[in-house]
Structure 1
Amino acid sequence: MSSETITRLEAENAALRQRINELEMRLEAYHTGNAMLRTTGHTGAFNEFQGFRTTVERASQGIVIVHLEGVITYVNSAFCALTGYHALVGRHISTLYFEYDLPLLDRGLQKVRYDGVWQDNISLRRSDGAAIPVHIDAFLICDDAGQPAAITVIVEDLTEELRREERLRLFEALVENAPDAIGVANVRGNVIYANTAYQALTGCGDQLIGMNAFDGIVEHDRQAVRTALARLEDNNAVVLDIRIQRRDGGIVPVSAAMYAQRSPRGEVWLIGFLRDISDQKRAEAERFALQQQVIEAQRAAIRELSTPLIPISETAVIMPLVGAIDSARAQQIIDTLLEGVAAHRADVAIVDITGVQVVDTQVASALVRAAQAVRLLGAQVILTGIKPQVAQTLVQLGVSLEGVRTTGSLQTGIRLALDHDAIRRKGAGR
């Protein structure tokens, strides 16, 4: 600035200081009970000034008054607290700006001088060098003659607001890029927000907004959802598996987590998180099928071990039985015996029950049915391993073993079978 400009600003500053001194003198006169002050009508003006000054000093916004050229003549306490400066009066307002923002400051001062107002969002430089985002409202002050005299600037700290906006943008980015479908609906189910994943899950795109979310649930699952929503009234989050019907007709199994949230206006919002579990369901189905295959293989192995059929000659087979015999195993015994006799073209089938501890009506009936079935194939059944208590039980039960040859020991049965085989071979040799 030129020396003439500085001289003029100093003169204006001195005039303003003189006016402030006059007001302070009036305040002192008021407190000392100056009668002339009370009778000349200045009391009302002074009280008005005092009220205005108290309001400005206690304002939460920073307030600055500068000359038309930018020299600071007044700052309130809030502005000092915001910027960290304690002595700004007499300094140029550019002190509070970063160098790269000085052209913006010049344009702003010109705008307020010519247009009377200037509003903008800028950054001020604190005394420690930190940047403070603020919103400013600047307006022109004119003297009694209507000539521009100074500029008043009201400054509002935007730090918290920008932090909220930043968190909101971060939240929106997280939600929009989340792999899970996220939606918000009113209590009637009308969708008021759906992230990209939700729009893709349903196949509806941005047309999902305004649609009813319940219509997209497979009808069979809607009752479960209604029951879950009834629990949401108690602010309890619920998780359940449901199926979503896509616009193209496809069915997508999802795990849905839902809870209720009140809007700023008190409306109840239903917020849902939907995770596509198609891969999980597919893996579970494959795992279940594999388990069934393993179980069936185990059952087959157990059947083979529990009812083994052993050929002991060209015309004889033996089936040693061990353990308990229920209806399922009884049928298995008959099936295995018949298949073995047919496969080996056996004339004699030895069924050894030495390892069977309990012979009841069910077991006896199974043995009789097995013998009858084998006889239909043209073979003979030899029942071995009948212990005394078993024989007594069979008698008490009245079981008829007609057509079944019995022996007390397995050895005897094998000898009979081998003798039969020898006779057959001898006969075949003649």
Structure 2
Amino acid sequence: MPVACALRYQTDSDSTPPRAGRHVTIARVVIPSPLRASYLRAFMAPSHISHTNGTPPPAQYADFLAFLESQRAELVRAAADDPALAELPEAERIPSVEHALDGLTAPLRDPSASSAWAATFLATSAGADQQRLAHAVLDAVRRQLLNAALRATVAGVQGTAESIDALMQQVDDAQHTIAATFVMRRDTELRIFRELFEHAPDSIFVTDMNGTVLHANNTFRSTSGFGDRVIGMNILDLGMPDLTLVDLLQESLMTNGSWKGVIPFQRPDGSSATSHSTVFLIKDANGAPHSVATISRDLSYQLQRESELRGINDRLEQSLATTPLATIEWDSQGIIRRWNPAAERIFGWSATEAIGKNIITLLVPDVAPDEVQTVVDGLLSGEISSTSRTENMTKDGRLITCQWYSAILRDEDGKVIGALTQAEDVTEDLRAEETLRRSQEQLIQAQQAALRELSTPLIPLADGVVAMPLIGSIDTGRAQLVIETLLSGVSQNHARVAILDITGVPVVDTQVANALIRAAQAVKLLGAQVILTGIRPEVAQTLVGLGVDLSGIVTRSSLQDGITYALRT
């Protein structure tokens, strides 16, 4: 049997690198691990490794490195098939072994080559499993390197002892680097965890299995109200009044390993608070429950805001339910989403019947189907006024007039999502307004008639004698009214004499004089005579100055003289 087949390297644990106190078995002879290099040198009769400033000359390793290259495929495959790498995904085994082999041999090829690869080797995460797998890959490569060294010795490859001793040192250094890297990362992560723990906005605390607080962050110390005193306290002393909840929590922890729920508690100052908590078990390396962690968020402010919002919403709902205005909410397609009791009363449709229908199709008569969305878009865009008065159709077919008020609804991004519309049935109001308008017109007409009678009173004095005393200014309209009233009175009373008294007319100008002359001429055509009375001296002077011809009219200075004259005639 060839020597290479009878000699093999193994440790009493294949998953960890050899250290002091471990053993190497060669040809079934157990030798302490620290003696492995010297034994190989003696067995393979190499020259002692020479160093220059601690770095062996590359020429010392050239033959062995060439031998390794010729054996590379077999070495890599054998290392990848090592049972210790069973947990490593199959697709990653060969690349990981090749990476380790290249990293270990690089300083032998070039003394200036860096060995920093070990710090990141298989360290995609800082978990213990990654560290363990990294050591497992290096151990598998170590074993195959030793096997290769035995084969090289049998083949008489020069520099094998020096090379394998340097490579074993590289493995040890790489494993120490990996361990140190993971320790450093663990310390870094621990510092990060402590910072996150202390500055987290949620309360975080850890208790032992008896409920004694072991750790608590600043938020929990503050929100609990106990400050630094909370460390060492039992959770039952932290103001949790509901012991049934505590029992339920413990039962869930033992059964499911975690619990989520709302926990009310009371602070030392007597104030109450409520938190939403996630409680879970922390287990030791053997999987046994070790402690309990709790992450809580104080819901006091949130619950207060929710209570306020519920109050606002309740008041709004009550207002919508009791308002006399029909309140209708509809979306961007015009589909009704809310329909209050007033809308039921005004339009006749129940909420169940109206919700889901198009507001225009339901309420606006004589709108073509292809125009419905145009009307909706116009309302939402503001092209159609948000305040309008329209005729609407009720469930029983009646046409009513409604006053509409619309407000556009937008989402949190400002996008229009619909509208809230209120409507008031003003049909009866309009009818009342029309009735009032007509009454006012009739009243105005009656007042105008009364004023006409007062402004041009015709008084019968005796058979065949009537008198019209004029008071106030006489304009064109009143002058015409004087003529009409005088003629009507003369005709109705069969008067032969009509007395016009201008005692109460303050100013007599050409217009007044002409009106008096036209009245006299008109009465004369009916066969009666006009007597003009009440001509004051200043009026007489004005008439003369204006050149008014009163030759066809009997004049007297006073109404009394005029009446006397009329009765004698």
Q: Tell me the TM-score normalized by structure 2.
A: 0.54
Greater shift, 150-159 or 171-180, is seen at 171-180
Residue 44 in structure 1 maps to residue 185 in structure 2: yes
* Deviation, structure 1 residue 120: 1.6
Match of 2:109 in 1: none
Residue 73 in structure 1 maps to residue 214 in structure 2: yes
* Deviation, structure 1 residue 111: 1.7
Residue 64 in structure 1 maps to residue 224 in structure 2: no
Greater shift, 140-149 or 173-182, is seen at 173-182
Q: What does residue range 281-430 of structure 1 map to in structure 2 within 5 Å?
A: 292=441, 295-296=444-445, 298-337=447-486, 340-341=489-490, 346-354=495-503, 355=505, 357-360=507-510, 364=514, 368=518, 372=522, 376=526, 380-385=529-534, 387=540, 389-390=542-543, 393=546, 395=548, 405-409=553-557, 410-420=559-569
Match of 1:138 in 2: 279
* Deviation, structure 1 residue 383: 3.7
Residue 151 in structure 1 maps to residue 292 in structure 2: yes
Contact 1:330 1:363 in 2 (8 A): no
- Structure 2 CA distance for partners of 1:319 and 1:72, relative to 1, 3 Å: same
Match of 1:264 in 2: 412
Identity %: 31
Contact 2:386 2:407 in 1 (8 A): no
Greater shift, 245-254 or 146-155, is seen at 245-254
Contact 1:185 1:213 in 2 (8 A): no
Deviations 1:115-170 (A, max 9, x none): 22222223221221111122112222222222222222211122232233223222
Return the letter of the residue paired with 1:89.
I
- Structure 2 CA distance for partners of 1:373 and 1:66, relative to 1, 3 Å: farther
- Structure 2 CA distance for partners of 1:182 and 1:94, relative to 1, 3 Å: farther
CA separation in 2, counterparts of 1:331 and 1:384?
A: 19
Q: Secondary structure at the match of 2:500?
A: strand
Contact 2:333 2:376 in 1 (8 A): no
Q: Secondary structure at the match of 2:452?
A: helix
Deviations 1:152-210 (A, max 9, x none): 22111222322332232223223222224555555665555555545655544432556
Match of 1:14 in 2: none
Match of 1:251 in 2: 400
CA separation in 2, counterparts of 1:113 and 1:374?
A: 128
CA separation in 2, counterparts of 1:413 and 1:381?
A: 10
CA separation in 2, counterparts of 1:366 and 1:133?
A: 100
**Gapped runs of 5+ residues in structure 1?**
1-34, 421-430
Match of 2:264 in 1: 123
Contact 1:140 1:152 in 2 (8 A): yes
Match of 1:7 in 2: none
**Gapped runs of 5+ residues in structure 2?**
1-175
* Deviation, structure 1 residue 55: 1.4
Greater shift, 282-291 or 66-75, is seen at 282-291
- Structure 2 CA distance for partners of 1:295 and 1:111, relative to 1, 3 Å: same
Q: What does residue range 10-25 of structure 1 map to in structure 2 within 5 Å?
A: none
Contact 2:365 2:393 in 1 (8 A): no
Q: What does residue range 222-233 of structure 1 map to in structure 2 within 5 Å?
A: none
Deviations 1:23-73 (A, max 9, x none): xxxxxxxxxxxx99x859533333332322221111111112233443332
| Structure 1 vs Structure 2 CA RMSD | 4.4
CA separation in 2, counterparts of 1:274 and 1:232?
A: 18
- Structure 2 CA distance for partners of 1:267 and 1:244, relative to 1, 3 Å: farther
* Deviation, structure 1 residue 264: 1.0
Alignment equivalent of 1:96, drawn from 230, 238, 241: 238
Residue 276 in structure 1 maps to residue 413 in structure 2: no
CA separation in 2, counterparts of 1:415 and 1:219?
A: 77
* Deviation, structure 1 residue 77: 0.9
CA separation in 1, counterparts of 2:292 and 2:360?
A: 56
- Structure 2 CA distance for partners of 1:205 and 1:117, relative to 1, 3 Å: farther
CA separation in 2, counterparts of 1:296 and 1:225?
A: 46
Return the letter of the residue paired with 2:522.
Q
Tell me the number of residue pairs that the alignment of Structure 1 and Structure 2 aligns.
Answer: 373
Contact 2:508 2:542 in 1 (8 A): no
CA separation in 2, counterparts of 1:145 and 1:51?
A: 26
Deviations 1:342-396 (A, max 9, x none): 66564433222342624546873586368636865x7554344463533665747
Q: Secondary structure at the match of 2:507?
A: coil
CA separation in 1, counterparts of 2:381 and 2:200?
A: 49
Return the letter of the residue paired with 2:514.
A
- Structure 2 CA distance for partners of 1:254 and 1:412, relative to 1, 3 Å: same
Match of 1:10 in 2: none
* Deviation, structure 1 residue 319: 0.8
Larger Rg: 2
Q: Secondary structure at the match of 1:172?
A: helix
Deviations 1:222-257 (A, max 9, x none): 999999977799xxxx9845346253444344363x
CA separation in 2, counterparts of 1:298 and 1:347?
A: 31
Q: Tell me the TM-score normalized by structure 1.
A: 0.68
Contact 2:509 2:542 in 1 (8 A): no
Return the letter of the residue paired with 2:413.
R
Return the letter of the residue paired with 2:392.
Q
CA separation in 2, counterparts of 1:243 and 1:117?
A: 63
Match of 1:114 in 2: 255
